[in-house]
Structures are given as C-alpha cells and as structure tokens.
Amino acid sequence: MASTRKVAVVTGSNKGIGFAIVKGLCEKYNGDVYLTSRDIKRGTAAVEALKQLGFPMLGSLMFHQLDITDQASVEAFRNHIKSTHGGIDVLINNAAIAFKTEAPEPFAVQAKETIRVNYFGTLMVCNALFPLLRQNAKVVNVSSSAGHLLRIPSADLRSKLSSVSLDVSGLNQLVEQFVQAADAGKNQEEGWGSSAYAVSKVAVSALTVIQQRAFDAESPSRNIAVNSVHPGYVDTDMSSHKGPLTTEEGAQAPLFLALEANIKGKYVWFNSAVVEWDKALEVN
C-alpha cells in the first residue's frame, strides 16, 4: 500500500544547487525527499554526505536513479513513486547542462544537446510525473537570468514564445526550429541569438507559463502551482565556479517557491522577487 506522507523530488541533485535544495528540504520539509541523479554512485554518495551532516531531518531522505533524457529511466522512477508513495507534492526540475565557452563541439551540436536535456528532458519528466501531482502540489522549474524572454533578439520570436495561444506542441516546434537553424548556421540570422543555453532556458520559462495555464483551465480544483526561477549566479561546476553566490544562497528562491510562495505561473528572481518575464528587467 502506497504511503500517504508528503513527497518532494529534485532532479539533478547530486551536486550544486540541486544538492543544496535537497539539503534545505531535509531541514525544512516534513515529508520524504528524493535526491536523484543519472549516476547511481554519485547519487548515493550525495545522500550519504547529507546524512553525515547530522542535522535533524523532518522526513526521510532517499535516492533514486533518474536520467531526465532517458524514457526508461523516467518511467521507472514514475512507477516507483506511484507504487511506493502514490503521488508527489513538490517537484523541482533542476537537472540541466551548459557547454563551456571554450567547448570544442560545433554550435549545432551544442544546440541540439542543450535543448535535448534542458528543455525536452524537463518536459519528459513533467509529462511522466504531472499525473501524480497531489492536491496543492508545487512545481518549480529552475530557469536562469538567461531564461528571460528578452534574451531572444527577434521580436517576432518573442511574440510567438509569449503568445497566450501557445501550447506545448507549438513550443516544441519553435525549439526544433532553433535546432534546425543552428544546424544550418542561421540561428543568429533567424533571430535566436548565439546562446543555446539561453534558448533552452527561455523555453523552460515559456513552458512554465503554458503548464500553469493548462492546470488552471483543465483542473483548477487541484490547485497546482508551477513557477520558474532564476537562482542567481552561483558558484557551481556549471558556472566554472565564477558565481558570487553560494549553492545555499542559490537554493533559497527554489525553496521559497516550493515551501512558502502562494503564486502561480511566475518567473521569480533569486531574491524571491517576481520579475515580468516578457518585459524589460527591473531588478533591485
């Protein structure tokens, strides 16, 4: 029989901001917390490292393998959660990649892989786990300052990405257009700019708005909240340890959205301020 305890899931959480989010949940969340990662050894080591810290945990900390780009892995995790717990109360989509500036891969390769992981991987997890979201569940999609709509140079593309009639299928087509443009060497000419990471995170931010709109229209009684967040410029492997914020500071806004906030469909900055995703940035 499935447990009725609350459950929180953090993808890509064996290190960096994801690890700090799990740590914060262990300290503050009265429920079971899942640390997930592609690599089993790294994931189990991360769980043990947290347990060795010795802080009192309100719930239980567990590990499960999860590769957000692997359909079988995602389905195995979904089936485990469904049979063991019956549902999810907090889902934090943190897993992502970023190619370094000096990466040798051609831009077309970087674009395809970045979109495959950061956008389509996140979408795959959502498609699998959204049916398991319980009443009043919170979903946090970790975006970036690069995920602000104005990072897309083309006004026409910005209009399409922020259209109230845009659905997931339409967004999928747009990001595929970017991958095709990158493959043809026309990504700047067609208005996408020169950052595959930015396009992937703009897509995640746009997906957040679409997901909230769908929940509000299809099942308002479930009271599901979906928000995206820029955690700040954090000292992690992804930032080549150039960020001024600690991972604990980077975890603060995601934790705020998961545990405290009463907002839906918003784009939130690392200082927990709501930022207009499709307008000029005005952040203190």
**Could you list the active site residues?**
197
Please check whether residue 214 is in contact with residue 164, taking contact to mean a CB–CB distance below 8 angstroms: no
Taking the C-alpha atoms of residue 30 and residue 58, their distance in angstroms, rounded to an integer, is 5
Q: How many CB atoms lie within 10 A of CB 272?
A: 14
Strand partners, 33: 8, 61
Please check whether residue 198 is in contact with residue 110, taking contact to mean a CB–CB distance below 8 angstroms: no
Please check whether residue 147 is in contact with residue 232, taking contact to mean a CB–CB distance below 8 angstroms: no
Task: Give the closest residue to 95 by CA, choosing from 120, 78, 72, 59.
Answer: 120
Q: How many CA atoms lie within 13 A of 46 on its CB side?
A: 30
Sign of the CA dihedral running 180, 185, 186, 189: positive
Taking the C-alpha atoms of residue 231 and residue 283, their distance in angstroms, rounded to an integer, is 13
Strand partners, 93: 141
Number of residues that make up the chain: 284
Strand partners, 76: none
- For 180, the enclosing helix (H) or strand (E) is helix 168-183
